[in-house]
Amino acid sequence: METVILASQSKGRRELLENEGFSLVPLPADIDENIPWVNPEKEIQTLAEKKALACHAQHPERPEKWIIAADTLVVFQGKPIGKPADIDEARAFLKALSGRMHTVISGVAFLDCTTGSLYSDSDVSEVHFKTLTDKEIEDYLATGEWKGAAGAYRIQHRGGGLVERIEGSFSNIIGLPLSKLFNIMHAAGYPAN
């Protein structure tokens, strides 16, 4: 497979793609991520598109032909929950999510740097948290996994123990809806092998 630029510093996204056999060059894009959140599914997809285009503009010397970009948002009771600023905010997020359902929305974009063609999509998954005790929350916070994680947890690691069930794509909850990505890569003409 051809080497692909990943316009992200997310370890979860990198692990997902490396597990699929991709050779990656991680180059996070520097963009303004402040958006109004009127239509989160469309806006998160647009944000992924902006990241792909910004990455290409910020690194025009790169020889790789393809860029993957993604962004993920946790929505709880109609409002976005980002990455916690500190452990107190992480605790508040986990207490709020305890025993309830929230939505994870990811946008993904795939850019052909040669033609400038941009392909994108989004995906939505539902995550149902178990009812958590204060001890379970404190034990999870002690792992440090909450740092830099939307909603203050990482489902692919110990955060999976906080979850009762999910509906939708597991990889989407990690931050990269693989089935949607593979569909747009196919549409873009990315060589499968």
pTM for the full predicted model: 0.92
Q: Is residue 193 part of a domain?
A: no
129, 135, 137, 138 alpha-carbon torsion, rounded to 10°: -170
Per-residue pLDDT of the chain (193 residues; tens, 9 = 90+): 799 999 998 889 999 999 999 999 999 988 887 777 788 899 999 999 999 999 999 999 999 999 999 999 899 998 889 889 999 999 999 999 999 999 999 999 999 999 999 999 999 999 999 999 999 999 999 999 999 898 999 999 999 999 999 999 999 999 999 999 999 999 999 986 5
Residue among 32, 71, 112, 139 flagged as catalytic: 71
Q: Is residue 127 part of a domain?
A: yes
Strands (E), the chain: 4-6, 24-26, 66-76, 79-81, 101-112, 118-129, 163-167
CATH number of 18's domain: 3.90.950.10
Q: Look up 71 and say whether it is catalytic.
A: yes
- Amino acid, single-letter form, for residue 139: D
Q: Is residue 166 part of a domain?
A: yes
CA atoms of 114 and 106, how far apart (whole Å): 25
The per-type count for the chain, helices as H runs and strands as E runs, is 6, 7
Is residue 56 within 8 A of residue 111, CB to CB? The reply is: yes
Count structural domains, the chain: 1
Q: Is residue 112 part of a domain?
A: yes
Strands 118-129 vs 101-112: parallel, antiparallel or unpaired: antiparallel
Determine the structural domain holding residue 15 and report its residue range. Answer: 4-188
Q: 70: which DSSP letter?
A: E
